[in-house]
Structure formats: C-alpha cells, structure tokens
Amino acid sequence: MCGIVGYIGHKCARPILIEGLKRLEYRGYDSAGLAVLNDGQVAVSRAVGRIANLEARLNGDGANATIGIAHTRWATHGGPSERNAHPHIAQNGRIALVHNGIIENYRTLRTFLEGMKVCCQSETDTEVLVQLIGHFYKGNIEQAVRDALHEVQGTYGIAVLCADEPDRIVVARKGSPLIVGIVGPGEYIVASDAAAIVQHTAQVVYLADGEMATIARDGFRTTTLENVPVTKEVQAVEFSLDQIELGGYEHFMLKEIFEQGQSLSMTLRGRLNTREGVIHLGGLANHTRDIARARRLIFTAQGTAWHAGLVGEYLFEDIAKIPAETEYASEFRYRNPLIEPGTVVIAISQSGETADTLAALREAKEKGALALGVINAVGSTIARESDAGVYLHCGPEIGVASTKAFTSQVAVLAMMAIQLGRRRFLSQPEAKNLIDALARIPGQVSAVLEQSEAIRKAVEKYIHRENWLFLGRGYNYPIALEGALKLKEISYIHAEGMPAAEMKHGPIALINEGMPVVFIATRCSQYEKVLSNIEEVRSRGGRIIAVATEGDEHIREMAQHVFYVPDVPEPLQPLLTVIPLQLLAYHAAVLRNCNVDKPRNLAKSVTVE
C-alpha cells in the first residue's frame, strides 16, 4: 500500500521524485524517503510524516543527481519512524531499495543474515531484502536482485539502485503494481501508480507478476525472474493530469463526490441504448451466454467494493433471477469455498490490485469458475487475470474514502443485471424502463448535491456524538453499511450500519436521548416497515436523519432532518441514496478537523494481506 517512484534521465531527479511522492501520498503517509546516486555514493534522506517533512530535510547533497528512487510508507512491520522509513540501505552502503508488499519469511532470512554477520538496523521486513541483495552482489545488481528474490516468500514491488552501477534501476514485482513510464530517449519514470507518471508521459509498460526490468539510460529490458526475455506492449494511460488535480476543491473527496454526475455519465456512455432499450457491455460479449446460464454468482470484494457487491446481489437475484451471494475476499479463499459447475465469480476493485480480492479471483479460477472483473484501473492485475470484465471508466479516484468508484460499480452491476435479465425473464418494457431510468441518473445527481450545505448544518449538531446508527432495508441496507463505513473512515466516529429490522434484535439497547440515527427511508417495497422502525427510535429519544424520496412530506413529521433524492425505480435507488451519506461523512470530518483525504491508518490501495 506504499508508493514507489523512480527516475533515470537527464533532469535533476529529486524534484521529480518529490512531485511523484506527493501524487502518491494517498497510498501511504506514515513516513517518506528518497535515495539518489551522487558522485559515486548513495545519498539518502528520510523523514517521519508527510512528504513536506521530507522536502524540508533536503539539502545540497545530491541536488544535481539524475537517478534516484523514492517511497512513501504505510507501516506494516515496524512503526512509523525514521529508521523504519524507506529507502533501506545494504550494509556495504552501496545498494538502496524501496519496497511495497510484505516479505513473509523475513524472520528466517534475518536469522540467516545474522549468521553471515549482516545486521539489520530497522524493524522492517524490507531491510532484510536489501541486505540479502547486498549479500548476493558480485558485480551484477540485476543478478543479485534475481538471486535474492528466489529466496523470498511474500509480495513485493521493488526498485533498486547500486552505486557501483550508477546508470540503471532494477525493478521487480509480485503482487504489488509497478509501471514503467517512457518519457523520451534515455528518460524513464517508474511508479506504483500512474498518478506519479502522467505529468511526464502517457506511454507506459505494466509489469506482470514474476517480471523484472532493468532500466538504463539507453533503454530497458524486461525478463522473468528466471531471466527469460519478455516482450511488453506500450500502453497509454487512460486519464489526464487535470483529473488528479484538486481543481478548486478543498479536498479530493469533495471533488469526487461532486464529480459523480460526470463519472456516472462516463461509466454509462456507449453502453446504454435508450432508443432500442438494450445494453452493450463489450467486455462481456464473448461470455454473455455462459453468464446467463450461470447457476450461481459470487461477488467478492473488500470494503466499499464489498458493499457494491451486496447491491449487486440484490440486483442479480431481483432482475436477472440468478442466485447470488457476496463474500469477503479475505475469507473466501481460506475456507476452501465450494465452486460448482456453472459458478461465476465477479471480483470488484477500484484499483484492480487489492491483494485479498486478487487472491480470491485466483482461487475461483483454480476451482473452475468463470472469473469476471469490475475494475476501474486499466491494465491492473485483476483486469489482466479476469476471463472478462467491465471497466468503470469513472476517472482516477484519489481520496482514500471511495465515493465515485462506488456509484460507478453499482451502475455497472445494474447494467450487467439488466442485460442478463433480458436473456432470462425480464420483459422488454421492464428492461427499457430501467434503462431509461438509469440514463437519467447522472442528471439527477445534481439535485442531491445541492443539499450539501443543509447536510453540513445538520451534521454540525451531532459531531460531538461518538456513536451513530445507519439503518436501511432491501436495496438500501448495503447503503446503510456504506454510510456507516464512510463516517468511521474519515471522521473517526463509531458507527454501525444494519438492516433496519435488525435493530430490535439487540442494537436498540444503544439508543439513548439525542443519539443520531440515519434512516434510508425512500419509497420502496418496505417503506411502511421503515416508518415503523423510525417510530421505535423516536420513542427512545433518538434523533432521526432521513434520506427520503422527493415529495414525501409525511416523513418530515417524523424526522429532525430530511434530505431528498429523486424518485427512481427501487433497484437504482442506491445510486442516489448513498450521496447524502457521503456528504454527511465529509462534513463531519471537516467539522472535526480530520484529514479527509488522508485518514489515519488507512491507505487507498490495499496491496498487502
């Protein structure tokens, strides 16, 4: 979950590395560091905290260097400290390494190194790897890296410098993304995310698991770990620089919330034919018949994407009439899941690199399932390893708390359910009604966003309360879970989401005078039941914050605060009802002086287990 940047070329490396780290800071911000090769020496700078702290540490040493590597850390082994910050240096002082991932057998390797009189200075698993490379180094850094990686168990994305070979960077990956950006003749940028590259070039090569590359001033070559040459395709980055800039917004999360009309339009574009009432999903074209014949669907994901999968479960059973279930990816592969003939597994991930989700996808494929991906990042590992899939095309998402990716995930799952429904039991008029309604959703987002200030004023009354409940039923039960997660993630308020009826089976004991309880109470098949649940909370002194359907005046008599969403078919309500809850969490975090885009202990892309 850390961020890696490397540069080799004719420009001064440090400004490029620092700028790249700033664009990757959402991937980790416990500490940061960089190493450049300067006058035959490795010059290292490290600092705890944000990139600005590292920048303040830099002096004239290495200012003119034209090759270097850098890192922003999300701590796993060893707490945030300067000695645990990357880059780590081999005992000989001549080799530097940055690493994303976890070396699972680091204790065994550390014991081996100690027997060889090699001492580690940090608490990290990463330092063991650079010391191992130093142990194997015999004048060829590429071979030393290869030899060391053959001894490693775990995941890694690494970049390595050697003062004795000052015109090359060696990189390798297994389970953690790495991209090589081709800037121009003799100039390359390496990064764990295209956000650090796009300012300089749109031409990139994605490394696959088990591959390494040696990048020199006269070109680069890619091989497997067994030194078999690999021919790589140069691809174009899908997004532009302005898409990862704040653009006048105070925070990326706020920008991404307000982009949802546009991002949903991008997700739907070219896929909805409202005139004929049909859906075209090109990424599934070769497998649509097999999916329509599926006996069982399993959605697998983590976090917010898991909530999208829960919505998908409702959509596929309701519209496509296919049995469906949603599994935490982190549990799926470890419980020896039963994958019967006719099972389709759909992995959902914004980054396409989520370690648990990738592992679940591989487990499903190993057991014979048709494996599909619902992914945002083009060229990501899950996208490459899926049998087929659908890209979100919602643009880059920088805020750690996912917003626009969630609504695009739900939109894609809705399109898939409608398309499959037409091949099964859904009539043409029913399908066209849903397609027409889906096409209107991007334009209806603005009506919800206009209530942002009213939501802020309501939230201001309750930010001192440390316990909240979020309640919904049917399609809006997953939205209750998502609303609670957003509040926890960025404001550090404890919140629980659950089906509204479940409240009576224990959690109602938590309700006391003044406790905020958020209800998704839109007009739906269980509307009257939700109103009864509201009454149960009111009678115990809870304060009701309701998300309701436009025109519903009755609910104003029952709630202290009401925020409205346009009236849409029940299966599509989550696309709109989630937005007030995103704004609620955002304003709560700002009012509590929390760092919205970089919440404590979290990182955007979880590439370790």
Q: CA–CA separation, 133 vs 308, rounded Å? A: 42
Residue 242 within any structural domain of the chain: no
Contact 344, 369 (CB under 8 A): yes
* 604 in a structural domain: no
Q: What is the pLDDT of residues 393-446, one digit of tens each?
A: 999 998 999 999 999 999 999 999 999 999 999 999 999 999 999 999 999 999
Residues 232, 275, single domain; the answer is no
Nearest to 597 by CA among 302, 246, 259: 246
Q: Strand, helix or coil at 525?
A: coil
Q: Is 605 a domain residue?
A: no
- CB-facing half-sphere around the CA of 165: CA atoms within 13 A: 20
Same domain, 397 and 333: yes
pLDDT at 605: 62
Q: Where does a domain end: 187, 202, 237? A: 237
Residue 485: CB atoms within 10 A of its CB come to 21
- At 553, which helix (H) or strand (E)? none
Q: Which long-range contacts (C-beta less than 8 Å, at least 24 apart) are formed by 503-506?
A: 503/469, 503/471, 503/533, 503/536, 503/537, 504/536
Residue 365 CB neighbours (<10 A) = 16
For residue 48, the tally of other CB atoms under 10 A from its CB is 18
* Catalytic residue (one of 22, 174, 488, 604): 604
Residues 29 and 99 in one domain: yes
Is the model's pLDDT at 43 over the cut of 90? Answer: yes
Q: Is the pLDDT of residue 566 over 90?
A: yes
- Across the chain, mean pLDDT equals 93
State the pLDDT at residue 557.
Answer: 92
Please report the pLDDT score of residue 61 as a whole number: 80
Do residues 131 and 36 both lie within one domain? yes
Phi, psi of 406 (to 5 degrees): -60, -50
- Contact (Cβ atoms closer than 8 angstroms) between residue 85 and residue 32: yes
- Separation in Å, CA 38 to CA 43, 45, 109, 163, 540: 6, 13, 30, 8, 69
The candidate with the shortest Cα–Cα distance to 76, out of 108, 109, 101, is 101
Cα–Cα distance measured from residue 514 to residue 542, given in angstroms and rounded to the nearest whole number: 5
How much is the CA Rg of the chain, to the nearest whole Å?
A: 25
Question: How is residue 298 written in tokens?
Answer: 């399993």
Selecting among 2, 120, 162, 524, the annotated active-site residue is: 2
| Residue 230 maps to a domain | yes
The answer to whether residues 361 and 391 belong to one domain is: yes
Burial (0-12, 13-18, 19+ Cβ within 10 Å), 439? middle
Where is the domain boundary, 237, 271, 301?
A: 237
For residue 608, tell me if it sits in a domain: no
Task: Answer whether residue 193 is part of any domain.
Answer: yes
Q: What is the pLDDT of residues 230-286, one digit of tens each?
A: 999 999 887 777 788 888 999 999 999 999 999 999 999 999 999 999 999 999 999
Residue 212 contacts by C-beta under 8 Å, 6 or more apart in sequence? 142, 145, 146, 149, 170, 171, 172, 173, 222, 223, 224, 225
DSSP 3-state of 549: strand
Residue type, 85: A
E-strand ranges in 394-503 read: 467-472, 494-499
Of the candidates 307, 544, 279, the residue with the CA atom closest to the CA atom of residue 422? 279
Determine the residue type at 163.
A
Question: Which domain does 295 fall in, by range?
Answer: 249-445
Over residues 153-197, the pLDDT tens digits come to: 999 999 999 999 999 999 999 988 899 999 999 999 999 988 899
Percent of residues in the chain assigned helix, strand, coil, to nearest 5: 40, 25, 35
Tell me, what CATH number does 527's domain have?
A: 3.40.50.10490
In a domain, 603, yes or no: no
Same domain, 144 and 114: yes
Q: What is the dihedral of CA 604, 605, 607, 609, to 10 degrees?
A: 50
Domain boundary among 189, 207, 237: 237
The amino acid at 580: P
Chain center to CA of 51? 21
pLDDT of residue 604 exceeding 70: no
Q: What is the CATH number of the domain that holds 18?
A: 3.60.20.10
What is residue 84's predicted lDDT score, i.e. its pLDDT?
92
Q: Sheet with 343-349: list strands edge to edge.
A: 324-328, 296-301, 343-349, 370-375, 388-391
Residues 56 and 198 in one domain: yes
Q: How far is CA 148 from the centre of its chain?
A: 30
Considering the domain architecture, whether residues 426 and 464 belong to the same structural domain is answered as no
Question: Residue 238: its pLDDT value, please?
Answer: 76
What is the pTM (predicted TM-score) of this model?
0.86
**CA dihedral sign of residues 427, 430, 434, 439:** positive
For residue range 106-158, list pLDDT tens digits in order. 999 999 998 989 888 898 989 999 999 999 999 999 999 999 999 999 999 99
505 shares its domain with 542:
yes
Give percent above pLDDT 90 in the chain: 80
- Would residue 2 show up in a list of annotated catalytic residues for this protein? yes
306 with 431, same domain: the answer is: yes
Q: Is 457 in the active site?
A: no
Do the domain assignments include residue 244?
Answer: no
pLDDT at residue 348 tops 90: yes
Instruction: Give yes or no: residues 393 and 535 share one domain.
Output: no
Distances (CA, A) of 230 to 8, 13, 181, 208, 513: 21, 28, 17, 10, 66
Q: How many domains does the chain have?
A: 3
Q: Residues 284, 367: one domain?
A: yes
